[in-house]
Structures are given as structure tokens and as C-alpha cells.
Amino acid sequence: MQITIGDHEIEFGPKSLRLSADSAESPPYEHLELRPVTPYIGAEISGVDLADPTPDQIDELKRALLERKVLFFRDQQHVTARQHRDFAAHWGDLEVHPMLAQGEIPEVVRFDRGHDNPGNENIWHVDVSWQQRPPLGSVLRAIDVPDAGGDTLWSDMGNAYDALPDHIKARIDGLTATHDFTPSFGLAMTPEKLAEMQKTYPPQHHPVVRTHPETGRKLLFVNSLFTTHIDGIDPVEGKELLRRLIDQVKMPDFQVRLRWAPGTVAFWDNRATQHYACSDYFPNRRVMERVAIVGDVPA
């Protein structure tokens, strides 16, 4: 809702949000403890050892991920990089990222940020949306974190879509947008390397609104980092429309925030969320490792 105050307009946040029917009618969890962090997104999970989860726990975690979109696990300091990888593999094949530094094993990406390498993930984004099959989800493990700062936020793209005005929903229905790594990862490449990677990873055209392949929920699927433009419409209109959709992601009503500690693990549904890593801890060090699960072609 917009109102005019003085000579400017302000916009209030959404007046109501729709709780997922799956979550609202969910049976109780029998093999783990789940505590919601907000009514719509995020849950603290306890009673699970990620180094050796039981089959029943994996089944319930698969349901919890769909219902809560982001799962948080504490006190997992003992989990090794290999166990981290093996846990994520319960959800499918794993990505080997072609442009980020690996840890001990190829599927593990290592983010080592500090004085000489400041964090640059402080932008709302979907992991690797420039791939034909962006990740299903990502599992991020804290190795070393600052005493304060370095939080990560996630935003619920189902509620972000639901809260759009009806006329915008009608306008974006059926549209696609271009996703490209060039404006981000490409900045650090030589012209020769950039040309090689562009040939291997050409821009992808994904729906502006995708449908979750498991829940059927409609989800906003454009992001600040990798979406360059909306396809097939007037560029001026497209730029303004994309800005409006990107702004929608930033509403706190859709978000959950995590304060990290060593051994904390976050597992998010990359299809249903966007995330933002605060870079407020410079010059302190923050070391994380991530495993991503190969997803489907957005539709």
C-alpha cells in the first residue's frame, strides 16, 4: 500500500502473508526437533548429527527443507569436509563450481574472507542462476567466524511473489529473464578466459516466476547479481520492472537472519529463497565451506 506524506510517496510492507499449506498441515516430526525461527521461513534443527544422520532423519529433513526453506544446525564442529559432502549428497548429484576455489575435495567450495580478501557476497542472489540447472540447494558450514558480524539473511521467494500487486503478477506472467555470470565473475577474468567461459556457460533464460518442482508454489526468480534483463519487452520498461521485482526481495517481512558460530550449518532451498551475506566484519576473518546440490531446469 502506498500513501503520500508531504511531497513524497511511501510504501508499506505487505499486510498479510500466506503460510504454505504444506507447512500449515504438517504432521509432527518424530526423529528430530524443529523450532521455527519465523512463521514462514527458517527453522532451528536439533537432535541430528550431520556426520551420521539416520535414514528417518534424512526423510524428515527433506520434508523440513520444503516447508521451512532454510534449516539451521548448531554444534556441528566435528563434521569433516567429506561428511559435509556426503550429507548433501542425500539430496542428489553435487555441483563442482567452475569459478570458485575448492576446499579439500572438488565438491566443497571454500570462502576465506578477511583483511586481504574482503567479503563480496553482500548482495541478494540465487546461487549459480546462470547455469541451465541452478542448484536445488546449498549447505554452508562455518569454519571460522568473527566475534560479531558476518550474519547471513534469506528471503522467501514464495511470499515475495504472493505479495506482489495483481497487476504486476499479470505483467510478469510468462516472461523470462536473462541470467549471466559475466557482470560478476567475468570481471576478474582475462579477455581470453572470459571468452572461453562464455562459450561453455552461455546466458540462460529462466522464467521470471518459476514453479517449485516439489511443492508447486509460484516463486519469484530474478536476482540482483546474475539477472541482467527481462527478455522481449521494452528496455526502459524492463529495467524498471526488474528493479521493482528486485526491491521486493528486500522486504524484512519475507526474511530470516542467522548469527553464525563455529560449527553452525545452514541448508537452504536455492529454488525458493535468495540470500545475502553481510560483509560488516572487515578486517576480521570469516571462513565458510559450501556444497551445492544440482537442481532442475526452472519452469
- Cβ atoms of residues 273 and 73 within 8 Å: no
C-alpha span between 86 and 82 (Å, rounded) = 6
Give which of 111, 99, 121 is closest to 186, Cα–Cα. Answer: 99
- Catalytic (active site) residue 125: yes
- Catalytic (active site) residue 290: yes
Burial class (CB in 10 A: 0-12, 13-18, 19+), 292: buried
State the alpha helices, DSSP H only, in the chain. Answer: 21-24, 55-68, 81-88, 157-162, 166-172, 191-200, 235-249
- Kind of pairing, strands 43-46 and 70-73? parallel
C-alpha span between 88 and 149 (Å, rounded) = 27
Catalytic option among 86, 127, 156, 269: 127
Catalytic option among 85, 97, 125, 141: 125
- Cβ atoms of residues 93 and 296 within 8 Å: no
Which cell numbers hold the place of 74?
548448531
115 CB contacts (<8 Å, ≥6 apart)?
A: 282, 283, 285
- Catalytic (active site) residue 90: no
Q: Is 297 helix (H, G, I), strand (E, B) or coil?
A: coil
6 CB contacts (<8 Å, ≥6 apart)?
A: none
Residue 215 burial (CB count, 10 A): 19
Residue 30 burial (CB count, 10 A): 8
Catalytic option among 141, 210, 275, 286: 275
Which residue numbers are catalytic?
A: 125, 127, 275, 290
